[in-house]
Structure 1
C-alpha cells in the first residue's frame, strides 16, 4: 500500500502534491509528441504512419483526460470562491487566448504571402477569437471553470448528478469533432468543439472527485497498476479489432485514469526523470503555447536545410528517431523560453496584466 506522493510545500495555504506536476508534465510531453508525429507524417513520410502516431493514438484516452482531471483537482477551492476573486482562471485565460490566437492569425497571413495558406478574413479571425481553435486548451480551462461553477450553483448539493450528462457529452464528442473542425479550415485552424465536449467531464470530475481520487491513490499498488493496464490493453485491442475504437475511447478514458492514479502514487518523485517531468508540468502553459511555433520553425529549418530527402531514404529509422528527438528538443527549448517569458517585461505574453485581474489573485496564481 502506498500514499500519494506529496511535497511539503504550501502556496496560499494549498498543499502542492508532487504527482500533480508529474502527471501534467507527462501529458504535455505527450501533446508535443502527438503534434510532432503528425508533422512528420504530413511533411516527411507523406502519409506513411510511423510508430509514434500509433503510440499517440493509443494514449489518446489518457493524454487530455488526465490533464483536465488534474486541472479540475487544482480548481476545487477556487471554484467555490466568488468570480471576482478568480479572474486569473477566467478573464486571465481568455486574455491569453485572444493574444495567441491573434498571433496565430498573423502567422496565417505570413503563410498566405508565401503561398502556403488561404487568406483569413475578418470573420474567420473573429470566429477564431470566439470559438476554441488552435489554443483550445486555454479556452477550455476558462470555459470549464465557468460551466462547472454554474452547474454547482444551480444544482447545489446535487451537483455531482451533472456527471451523467457531461459524460454523455464526452461519448458523442467524436461526432461533434467531425462536424466542427472543418468550419474555419483552411483559412484558420479548425474549431475544436469535439475536444471541448470530450474533456469537460474530466475537469468536472476533477472538481467533484478530489476525496475519491486521493483515497484511490492511498490504496494504490503494483497489482492494481498491472490489472488496470491489462484491462486497458484488452479493451483497446477489442475496439481496434471490431472497428469501433473511436466509440470505446470514452470507456478507455476512466480505465486510463485509474491506471494513472496507481502509477502517480507509486512513482518515485525524486529521480532525475521525475524532476524533469515535474519541471515541465509546472510550466505547461508556456510549453503548450510556444511548441506550435517551435515546431513550425523546426519544420521550416529541416525543409530549407535539405534534410528531407535524407530522412525519406530510410523512413523506418528516421520515423523512429526524429519524432521523440524533436519532441525532447522542443519541450526543452519552450520550457527555457517560457521561464524567461514569465518574467517582466515579457510576462504579458504568458499572464494577463495585474490590473485586469483585480480584485482577486494576481497573475501569478496557478491556473492549471
Structure 2
C-alpha cells in the first residue's frame, strides 16, 4: 500500500529545474550564430562596420566563436568513450558531408557574383581546392569541428598536463607557418573546445550557480580583465613610439621567430592574448546565457535559433549571395548617408541584408526537410560494422536531436 509520502511530486519539481538550467547551451549557440550572421552582413555592406549594430556586435568578439566551440566540446564529451569507427559514424560524418557539399557551392556563388558584377576573373580549380583544404572559407567552423574532435579522440588517454603541453606547443609552429589559417584558429579556439569537453561537470555546476552574486562578480572581473588585455595587446601592436619595455618585447619576439625559421608580426603575436581573452571571457558568456534563459520570450527565441544553427550557418551565406547579392545589392543598393531618403542609409541596408541572410537560413532549413535533398545537411547514419557500445554520458534535456548529432 502506498502512503502519502510515495507521491512523485518531488520528481515533477526537480525535472523542470534541471531543464531550465540546461537551456543555456542552446541560448549560447543562438547568440553566437546571430553574431556570426551580423558580422558577415557588416562585411557585405559598404560602411557596415561603422554602424552601431556592428560596434555592439564587436562586444561579442571574445564570446561569439569561443562559446560556439565550448558548447560543441560540451556535447563532444562522449567522444572520450568511443572507438574511431563510432566517432566517424556518429560525429565526423555529420560535419564532413555538409562541409564538402556546401563549401564549393558557396565559394562558386561568391566568386560568380564578383565575376558578373565587378569583372573579377573566374577562380581556378586550385583556388577552390586550397580554400576547401585550408579552411579559408565561410564554413570553416565545420572543418575545425572535425579537427578538434579528432584531437580530443586521439589524446583521450593522455594525462591532462600532456594535453596542455600539446596545445601550447602549437605556438612552436607560428614563426614558420603563421600564415596558415588552420594553425591560427587552432591556437585561439582549440582550448575553448577542450574546456567544454574536459570541464563539463565544472561548467554545469558553474551554470547552476550563475545567478549568485559570487559567480556574477567572478565572471565580470574576468571579462573586464580580458578587455584590458585586449587594449594592452592593441597598444603593443599599433604604438608608433616604442618605449624600452615594448622594444624588449619586440626584440624577444623577433629572436624567437628567427630561431624557428620565420617572421612573427604584431598580428601573429596577437593570437596568444586573443586565446587568453576568449578563455577568460567564457564564464561571462555562461552567466549571460543563464540570465537570458530567465527572460522567457527572448530566451525561448534564442533557444529555438540555437537548436537550428546548422541551417542558419549554411544558409545565411547563401542568402547573402543569392538573395542579397544577385537580387538586391548590385541592382538597387545605393548608399549615401547624406541623402534624405532612408533607403540610402547604411543602417537600412544592414537590416535588409540581415533579413536576406536569415531568409537564406530558413530556406535551407526547409531544404533539410525535403526527401533526397535534406541529406546534404543531415546525412543518413552510416551502418555500424559491429555492435556499438552504449554511451553512458547523458545529454541535457534541452538538446534537440540535431544538437546531439552535430554539437552545433
Aligned to 1:55: 56
Alignment partner for residue 308 of structure 2, among 283, 289, 310? 283
Distance 1:172 1:264 in 2: 35
Q: Deviations over 1:87-124 (max 9, x none)?
A: 24213312221111221343255346425443332333
Aligned residue number for residue 19 of structure 2: 7
Query: What is the match of residue 219 of structure 2?
Result: 228
How far the C-alpha of 1:231 sits from its partner, in A, is: 4.5
Contact 1:61 1:252 in 2 (8 A): yes
- After TM superposition, the structure 1 stretch with the greater mean CA deviation from structure 2, 83-92 or 238-247, is 238-247
CA shift, 1:58, in A, is 2.9
SS of aligned partner of 2:55: helix
Q: Which of 146, 149, 153 does residue 149 from structure 1 map onto?
A: 153
Whether 1:29 and 2:34 are equivalent positions in the alignment is yes
1:323 pairs with one of 325, 337, 350: 350
Alpha-carbon deviations, 1:260-307, whole Å to 9, x = none?
Answer: 222233333571221111111111111111111111231443324433
| Matching of residues 107-118 of structure 1 within 5 Å | 107=109, 110-111=112-113, 113-114=115-116, 115-118=118-121
The number of residues matched between the two structures is: 339
User: Equivalent of 2:282, from 254, 257, 267?
Assistant: 257
Please list the CA deviations of residues 158-193 of structure 1 after superposition, one character each: whole Å capped at 9, or x if unmatched: 146413542564x7999899623xxxxxxxxxx554
Cα distance, 1:80 vs structure 2: 1.6
Partner of 2:4: none
Kept in 2, the 8 Å contact 1:61–1:253? The answer is yes
Structure 1, unpaired ranges of 5+: 9-15, 181-190
Q: What residue is the counterpart of 2:375 in the other structure?
A: 348
Relative to the length of structure 1, the TM-score reads 0.78
Residue equivalent to 1:268: 293
Structure 1 position 19, deviation (Å): 1.6
For residues 26-105 of structure 1, the aligned pairs below 5 Å read 26-40=31-45, 44-45=46-47, 49-86=50-87, 87-105=89-107
Residues 77, 88 of structure 1: alpha-carbon distance in 2 compared, 3 angstrom cutoff: closer
Matches of 2:333 and 2:50, distance apart in 1: 19
What is the rounded CA distance, in whole Å, between the counterparts of 2:24 and 2:16 in structure 1? 7
RMSD: 3.6
Indicate the structure (1 or 2) with the bigger Cα radius of gyration.
Answer: 2
Query: What is aligned with 1:138?
Result: 142
2:23 corresponds to 1:18? yes
Between the aligned partners of 1:329 and 1:112, the Cα distance in structure 2 is: 18
Which residue of structure 2 aligns with residue 187 of structure 1? none
Match of 1:13 in 2: none
Aligned equivalents of 2:79, 2:338: Cα separation in 1? 50
Q: Aligned residue for 1:366?
A: 405
Partner of residue 235, structure 2: 243
Query: Is the contact made by 1:176 and 1:193 (CA closer than 8 Å) also made in structure 2?
Result: no
> Which residue of the partner structure matches residue 129 of structure 1?
132
For residues 301-335 of structure 1, the C-alpha deviation after alignment (integer angstroms, 9 at most, x for no partner) is 332443323556389x9444543564355335513
Distance 1:198 1:91 in 2: 24
Give yes or no for contact 1:217–1:265 (8 Å, CA) kept in 2: yes
Moved more, 256-265 or 108-117: 108-117
Query: How far apart are 1:357 and its partner, in Å?
Result: 7.4
Deviation at 1:35, TM superposition (A): 0.8
